[in-house]
Structure 1
Amino acid sequence: MPVLTRSAAQPLSSRRPAARRLTIPCGRTRLVCRGRPLVMGILNVTPDSFSDGGHYADPEAALMRAIRMEAEGADLIDVGGESTRPGSAGVPAAEELRRVMPVIERLARTLRIPVSVDTAKAEVAERAFEAGASILNDVTALRHDPRMAGVAARAKAAVILMHMRGTPRTMQRAPRYRDVVEEVAGFLQEAALRAQVQGIARNRLLIDPGLGFGKTVTHNLELMRSLDRFVALGMPVVAGPSRKSFIGKVLEADVPDRLVGTLACVAQAQRCGVHIVRVHDVGPAVQLIHMLEAIEASHAARG
């Protein structure tokens, strides 16, 4: 089956693109996509993340949260020790290590699913890989730290390349694009080529259009509508709409009240063939995905 493409005027297909069925090697394990989006559970161990800052700063609380997300159906857990909310300034590597290492060590010993580290610092990534993480989620697409690509390549980690204009501190200062979908797609293609030149195998690369990172509400909605454009690039696609401000602005909802909007975005991601959805609320996302799967399966059985 060919990769799904469409113009803005064409309706979304109800059929899944075949591109979603693939295996992503990561360290000594692998992620297997079998026709539905995998669910990445977000575990922020920071005091200042926009959604759950401070809730899981204690390593044991973080472990319990990860165990619960795994039980709810998470396919992988993403651990972050530095807030990337709009306006945030970042923290030194030593502080980031202090936050994430006790958590990653516990998760690697306890969970049966892969662990991802959300960092732009090579020093943090290297230590995380040594402790058992097998995926790198870099919001700068390997641009922040010149050592990062080499560290990821040596670890044979899977690498998520995300689009962000500017830095977390500056990214929301009047972002402008001529064509946000095509500009972000072009950036991600170039980032993937650079990563391969730096020694990271293409089958270990994933791309993320960076919802909420240097985009207006309209930009984010255009990206959501056109997620299949990124699937058509031929690499696994990650979408992270969870509790983002564009949902809040559309629905006039504060962070705790953005679950329904998040699930609408997860449904759209599934319809477009996205491979991984990154969410805080794992259980509801898993249930939604399984329900959509059942609906599609009933249609296929009838046909």
Structure 2
Amino acid sequence: MDGEVVRGQRPLRLGRRVFAPAELVVMAIVNRTPDSFFDRGATYGEAEALAAVDRAVADGAGIIDVGGVKAAPGEEVDAAEELRRIGGFVAAIRARHADVVISVDTWRAEVGRVVAGEGADLLNDAWGGVDPDLAAVAAAQDIGLVCTHAGHLPPRTRPHRMTYDDVVADIVTTTVGLAERAVALGVRPDAILVDPGHDFGKNSRHSLEATRRLPEMTATGWPVLVAMSNKDFVGETLDTGVDGRLEGTLAATAVSAWLGARVFRAHQVAATVRALRMVSTIRGDTDLAVARRGVV
């Protein structure tokens, strides 16, 4: 396939990197939180977090996504505490890895402004534009923005009996609206991604439907990011706890890649990179890493 014209999409330009439309990119999760649902605080300390960044880059991640507040309800984390956790850390990553794309998972404009000054290339707004000034920060700093469907809920809110006339129609309308607003504010179109927001403002059936109907998002022309790693919709599908969700996560990742998603937020980077390489090779976008069978 011609990487410049795959499915009518444009290259994605973030920081020093240009990702072609056919390129499948892993966004590694590094949480500077003591209470994250998956790693349970394993990368709360700066040394541990920097080591996790180094491993993720070595394993093939193209984007590092740093978060200072867990998505679920819990202890209050104000902007000052969020910045205590991640302020300075972005600069430390940039000093170690000049070319990696650094994303920061935040919904607050004041946090976005600080981390942009430290070298962040992307603001991952997982809560659907609740702070309308965040997009303006991305525009002013000439960095990227993730526009997410979070069910129109306040940050750190669990969904309860959520209903939609058509969940995918709501996802498309919301994320495209956020993307178009960002462009109007001055964010570069080639630095914007849309995210269906698996589990955010959704029950597990909603998340599964968003996955199987992903082509309705890719048809908008905006590059699609999926954040499915070890989430509850995987656990409820397989009836397994957090530690038993890797296979389900990789299956959902492979399906989403085949359906046109381009960026994949992941805890287990090496396994995700391998799964995506398999998808990419099956569809003809990459070649074999080695060719011995029937040749030598």
SS at match of 2:23: coil
For the residues of structure 2 that align with 1:277 and 1:48, how far apart are their CA atoms? Answer: 22
Which residue, 206, 214, 221 being the options, matches 2:208? 221
Q: Which amino acid aligns with 1:294?
A: T
2:182 is matched with which residue? 195
Pairing of 1:26-65 with structure 2 (within 5 A): 26-27=14-15, 29-33=16-20, 35-65=22-52
Following TM superposition, by how much is the alpha carbon of 1:191 offset from its aligned partner in structure 2, in angstroms?
1.2
Which residue, 223, 247, 254 being the options, matches 1:236? 223
Which residue, 16, 19, 30 being the options, matches 2:7? 19
Q: Is the 8 A contact 2:9 2:221 kept in 1?
A: no
1:172 is matched with which residue? 159
Which residue, 91, 97, 104 being the options, matches 2:83? 97
Following TM superposition, by how much is the alpha carbon of 1:197 offset from its aligned partner in structure 2, in angstroms?
2.2
1:152 is matched with which residue? 138
Q: Is the 8 A contact 2:88 2:118 kept in 1?
A: no
Pairing of 1:128-143 with structure 2 (within 5 A): 128-141=115-128, 143=129
1:206 is matched with which residue? 193
Q: What are the Cα deviations for residues 150-185 of structure 1, in whole angstroms up to 9, with x where unaligned?
A: 211011111000110212443411111111111111
Q: Which amino acid aligns with 2:106?
A: T
Q: Is the 8 A contact 1:108 1:132 kept in 2?
A: yes
Taking only aligned residues, the RMSD between alpha carbons, in angstroms, comes to: 2.3
For the residues of structure 1 that align with 2:212 and 2:76, how far apart are their CA atoms? Answer: 31
Which residue, 58, 63, 80 being the options, matches 2:67? 80
Question: Cα distance 1:296–1:202, how it changes in 2: closer, same or farther (>3 A)?
Answer: closer
Following TM superposition, by how much is the alpha carbon of 1:148 offset from its aligned partner in structure 2, in angstroms?
1.5
Q: What is the aligned length?
A: 285
Where structure 1 has 5 or more consecutive residues not aligned to the other structure, the ranges are 2-16
For the residues of structure 2 that align with 1:121 and 1:225, how far apart are their CA atoms? Answer: 31
Where structure 2 has 5 or more consecutive residues not aligned to the other structure, the ranges are 289-296
SS at match of 2:71: coil
Question: Cα distance 1:298–1:37, how it changes in 2: closer, same or farther (>3 A)?
Answer: closer
Q: Which amino acid aligns with 1:132?
A: G
TM-score, reference length from structure 1: 0.88
For the residues of structure 2 that align with 1:227 and 1:191, how far apart are their CA atoms? Answer: 18
Question: Cα distance 1:204–1:296, how it changes in 2: closer, same or farther (>3 A)?
Answer: closer
SS at match of 2:103: strand
